[in-house]
Structure 1
């Protein structure tokens, strides 16, 4: 398996187009080839690290000499890269012999004779001549093939439910699917593809160039759907069965964006400064700058998707995520950690979202979208930051004595147990309001409170009374504190909620007005 050595590069213009989420087919082909080269390097490194795998590696090389295109199609598959990266990691950690079985299996698959395609096989389409392209035929592949065509654009994607490497994507893979489950995937893909090609053709074209396989995974009972990608498996998406075609469409757009950025990061160092974890609009746990960039890039595509969809719920999602993407890009650009390439990439990302910020959205929808972002940031601070107990006690003592407050100390990170993505009854209510008339007491979300209901209806006074009472009843109720921050005047409840909550708890006086306390602390 030899090839002429040449560096994989992109022009500044191509990198900027990638940053804006508008890559050309030629750019995506370069990313594909770079990933294939990486697979070859991984396989060579495995043979070098595991003497027992040398014979299998030679057999694989011999198979490639006999059928270069066929073996390259096999080795370009995402799960081959995923397995190879994991194998090399285990070998370097001392797992002697870890490469023999995998390379032997690859060599055996590479030696399989290539049968003529069945009469029902559709004619080759653009990209099929490139052995690394997702559309390239692969007779050794064992997964199911899903296919959808609309308005002259075809997506062919493997539903990979048997390859052992699929468990390395970080989510629990399903057992091999029954025919009914495969039919559900095919039906959803058919309708999702129609939606994407009709309203989001540019995104659909990117999928045809990148998406190779979908790995079905077990659902999370606490989430509507889960999905993931891996930096080692370009073009593979792990995903639970979609509830509807729209969820599949936006989920694929989202995850393929992650896959593209992973490939870009193998060619360019985008961030070189300290990767200190901090706030991310898409997670409830602290994320490094690299994670914030991934979120901003993925949600650039998600925002563009909702921008092209009709209805109030689409406007809510559009308004919410355009602001989050812009804020994340601004943070990255001002943090000082980006390289020249990273600055070029994120500048293009920010320029893409900038004109969207002034596009009109119904006032009530805009209020709920801005509130959702504020709500998340406040709950993130309550969950992940704390002030020193002694400082909270000192401020509580000053309040009791009627003295002016001392300077409020800065916050420190604290470990937060539980899920990294928490459900929000208030957000569920906002979604419901955007879909239908305002919810009533009789049909509100089971976990929603009277304050949540008043907030989404726009009754700030009632919401303020309800949230204040909830905080006084349970000072550890983060959802009540964030609700109070949404409808109260003092900015301290939004900017430093962890400090206000800590002093309130130190007072041990439930009758204290938390809004008055926040005003006093930062007066």
Structure 2
């Protein structure tokens, strides 16, 4: 089997989120090679398994068996099986018996499929609501779908495909090449919708039923970008220190730099989708917000210097793709809300994840009481105990405003939405004085400097007579 290679122009186009058909085909071939290598290692670790059945099945129907080996869920099984065997588990405990399923002819119900065609571009994917491995994508799978539920998925898929082919056809063409299956999962009550991919399952998407066709279109674009980048990571080392933690505009917890790149690459596709829908206030908001987030994240990755030469080439192509978008005009009112949402997220992220030693906070408070200059106090980043998706009541209000819905929130949030900065500051100041631990109020003030230091010191001060804005200006001095 020949080595897998990408030319420099093809690699740069892939970094920019514009791979051609041959590049995607090469990534698929590389993933198939990976599956074969995993099977070889499993055989070496468990030689007594039913390998003769698989060999005989391939001899009888080569195309069917190779298609089964190439599927995303086979990749997940193979990676986990090999890991379990190397950890000392017995073959039956590691799941080697799945080889018999690969070898056996299809039995039982025919898997559901989602099929759509628009303007000459067709897509067909498996709707895996019964596959025994569907839980291995990291989210809790939904129960097998009823016929009515499956029909709802098909309706959304048809509408989403029409939307994709109409507004971002080149991305739709890539999606048709990459996407192999969708695994319906249970919704998360705390999230608007959840989806995930696995590094071992190129072309598989686990997702809860989307609210509408646009949400499905965006979710599929987002997760397909993850699959592409996972395939790139298999062929190229992009990071020198992939686990170093930093700020991610898409999550409320610290993320490794490899995860930050994944977020930037996924949101490149999402941003391009919103860019192609002018005239829609919500689309303009999403476009303005995410173009800045992607540009800032990639700029930070390039500045940090932790990329390999291949990683630098990839991220530079991504950054060069999005950078010109920052100069494209957006309605000023929408641009203000988008910039505010990014600032809001960054401030809340710092308050959540950067720790200030209590003794340092007390030292600041004591210096204030004495009328002394503020001592220099820093904070340290701490790994979050669990995954945290973005959650913000103020962002929810912004979305409702842009959708033309009735907006009902706190006095500070309502003043912020209508652009009354003085009223917003007054309201947020009152909230901070009433509860110095109110992160949303601190973020609403959008104080300069290190907000986590200001907030920690103000809590230690425990003096409601002290104006938090005056105190923040003193700390920043």
Contact 1:378 1:495 in 2 (8 A): no
Cα distance change, pair 141–337 in 1 and its aligned pair in 2 (3 A)? farther
Match of 2:466 among 504, 509, 512: 512
- Whether 1:429 and 2:397 are equivalent positions in the alignment is yes
Report how far residue 421 of structure 1 moved. 1.5
> Structure 1 CA distance, aligned partners of 2:122 and 2:461?
64
* Match in the other structure for 1:496: 450
Q: 1:424 to 1:337 in 2, by over 3 A?
A: same
Deviation string 1:431-480 (CA, Å, 9 cap, x unpaired) is 1222227x5xxx41xxx321111101111111101111111111111111
Q: Give the one of 223, 235, 251 matched to 2:219.
A: 251
Relative to structure 1, the CA distance from residue 269 to residue 212 in structure 2 (aligned partners, 3 Å threshold; closer, same or farther) is same
Matched, 1:326 2:295: yes
Residue 360 (str. 1) matches residue 329 (str. 2): yes
Cα 1:521–1:384 change in 2 (3 A) is same
Whether the 8 Å CA contact 1:237–1:252 is kept in 2: the answer is yes
Q: Could you tell me how far apart the structure 2 residues matched to 1:45 and 1:403 are?
A: 67
Aligned to 2:308: 339
Q: How much does 1:278 deviate?
A: 1.0
**1:99 shift after superposition:** 4.2
* 1:16 maps to 2:12: yes
Aligned to 2:18, what secondary structure does the other structure show? coil
Q: Which residue of 2 aligns with 1:398?
A: 367
Checking the alignment, whether the CA contact within 8 Å between 2:222 and 2:269 is kept in structure 1 is: yes
Query: 1:215 is matched with which residue?
Result: 183
Q: CA RMSD in A?
A: 1.5
* Offset at residue 203 of structure 1 (A): 1.1
Task: Describe the shift of the 1:418–1:273 C-alpha distance in structure 2 as closer, same or farther (beyond 3 A).
Answer: closer
Inter-partner Cα distance in structure 1 for 2:269 and 2:412: 33
Give the distance between the partners of 1:196 and 1:64, measured in 2 at CA.
37
> Residue deviations 1:390-429, cap 9 Å, x none?
111111111001112122x221123545660142110011
Matches of 2:458 and 2:175 in 1, distance apart? 51
In structure 2, the partner of 1:350 is 319
Runs of 4+ in 1 over 3 A off after TM superposition: 139-142, 414-419
8 Å Cα contact 1:315/1:361 also seen in 2: yes
User: Which position in structure 2 is the counterpart of 1:6?
Assistant: 2
Distance 1:174 1:388 in 2: 44
- Equivalent positions of 1:193-204 (< 5 A) are 193-204=161-172
TM-score for both structures, normalised by structure 2? 0.97
Residues 191-250 of structure 1 show CA distances to partners (whole Å, capped at 9, x for unaligned) of 111111111101110111000000000001111110000000000000001110010011
Please state if 1:456 is matched with 2:417: yes
> How many Å separate the matches in 2 of 1:285 and 1:495?
20
Distance 1:367 1:462 in 2: 16
Q: When the two structures are superposed, what TM-score results if normalisation uses the length of structure 1? A: 0.88
Match of 1:287 among 255, 260, 273: 255
Matched, 1:154 2:115: no
Query: Using a 3 Å threshold, how does the CA distance of structure 1 residues 141 and 269 change in structure 2: closer, same or farther?
Result: farther
Q: Secondary structure at the match of 1:52?
A: coil
Residues 292/509 of structure 1: CA separation in 2 closer, same or farther (3 Å cut): same
Contact persistence 1:21–1:349 (CA under 8 A): yes
8 Å contact kept, 2:413–2:424: yes
C-alpha distance in structure 2 between counterparts of 1:418 and 1:37, whole Å: 34
Kindly provide the CA deviation profile for residues 117-153 of structure 1, in whole angstroms up to 9, marking residues without a partner as x.
xxxxxxxxxxxxxxxxxxxxxx999420110101100
User: Which aligned pairs between 1:32-431 and structure 2 lie closer than 5 A?
Assistant: 32-53=28-49, 56-97=50-91, 98-109=94-105, 142-273=110-241, 275-310=243-278, 311-407=280-376, 409-414=377-382, 416=384, 420-431=388-399
Q: For 1:168 and 1:19, how far apart are their aligned partners in 2? A: 28
Residues 254 and 383, structure 2, Cα contact 8 Å, conserved in 1:
no
Does structure 2 conserve the Cα–Cα contact (< 8 Å) formed by 1:46 and 1:99? no
Unaligned runs of 5+ in 2: none
Q: In 2 relative to 1, CA 66–416 (structure 1 residues): closer, same or farther, beyond 3 Å?
A: closer
Q: Is the 8 A contact 1:74 1:140 kept in 2?
A: no
Gaps of 5+ in 1: 113-138, 486-492
Q: How much has 1:376 moved relative to structure 2?
A: 0.4
CA distance in 2, matches of 1:36, 1:456: 51
Aligned mates of 1:416, 1:169 — CA distance in 2 = 22
Shift of 1:377: 0.4
Kindly indicate whether the alpha-carbon contact (under 8 Å) linking 2:16 and 2:317 is maintained by their aligned counterparts in 1: yes
